[in-house]
Copies of this chain bind each other. A is one copy, B any other.
Amino acid sequence: MKQFTKHNTRNSLRRIFLYHGLLLRLKSMGVTRVFSYTLAESAGVTPEQVRKDFSEYCIRGNRRGGYLTASLLDEMEVLFRRDRVTNVILVGMGNLGQALSKYGLFIQRGINIVATFDIDPYKQKSRADNQVYSPERMQEIIDRFHVTVAIVAVPDVSAQEVCNELIGMGIRGIVNFAPVLPRVPAYVVVNNVNLSDEIESVIWSVSRMREKQSLFL
């Protein structure tokens, strides 16, 4: 088991995933060799940052030669268990849940949505591409596919309850799209994604920028 030298930070982890995505694209474009400044450029950070991040996860290149795209990807994928696909489940097949479940490129990133759930019987209709289960079958499916990560796309009022149930059934990681922060035990990882906030913060930054600008007119 590889040991990381230092306490790896939340930020550097985020960026590692960013680099990974960029590398996949670069590879598909036929780029065989990258340099810290290549990645830095596409990722919008400094070259030092890229190297420091790699360093933190014990990923190393060739001095002078940069990094070979393919072997860098290999190394990252082994390191991050991306060498095999991870089964996840998705709870809440409303607007957002359906969009996520139809997204074809998750599998390229090693994310396999093995089953989706909804309490609404109307949504549980089975079509060839898209079987939506009743939550009653959740435990069975979690066990069968060794699922440890779930995506939660239910309304805010149900989110805490759904998270509690999932954790009781063995889920240890949750990506939560409801605009509440679920309370969970310390051994469970939660990532809250709030799309309204993402949009609002841009709106606000733009209006701030305009104000500042108007001072110079």
Contacts and interface: CB of A to CB of B under 8 A. Distances in A.
Interface of A: 1, 13-14, 17-18, 20-22, 25, 42-44, 80-82, 86, 88, 95-96, 98-100, 102-103, 105-106, 109-111, 148-149, 151, 156, 172-175, 179-181, 187, 189-191, 193-207, 209-211, 213
Contacts of A20: 200
Counting from the closest, the 10 A-B pairs by CB-CB distance are A173-B206, A99-B99, A95-B99, A173-B202, A17-B197, A189-B205, A95-B102, A109-B196, A96-B99, A191-B202
A13 B204 contact: yes
Copies in the complex: 2
Given A109-B199, A189-B202, 17 more contacts: A17-B197, A21-B179, A21-B194, A21-B197, A25-B156, A25-B179, A81-B203, A95-B98, A95-B100, A105-B196, A106-B199, A110-B203, A111-B196, A173-B205, A175-B198, A191-B199, A191-B202
Interface centre among A95, A156, A189, A200 (most CB of B within 10 A): A200
Contacts of A202: 149, 173-175, 189-191
A63 to B, nearest CB: 27
A200 B42 contact: no
A175 to B, nearest CB: 5
A167 to B, nearest CB: 12
A163 to B, nearest CB: 13
B187 A191 contact: no
A14 B81 contact: no
A106 to B, nearest CB: 6
Contacts of A213: 187
Given A105-B196, A196-B111, A173 B203 contact: yes
Contacts of A191: 198-199, 201-202
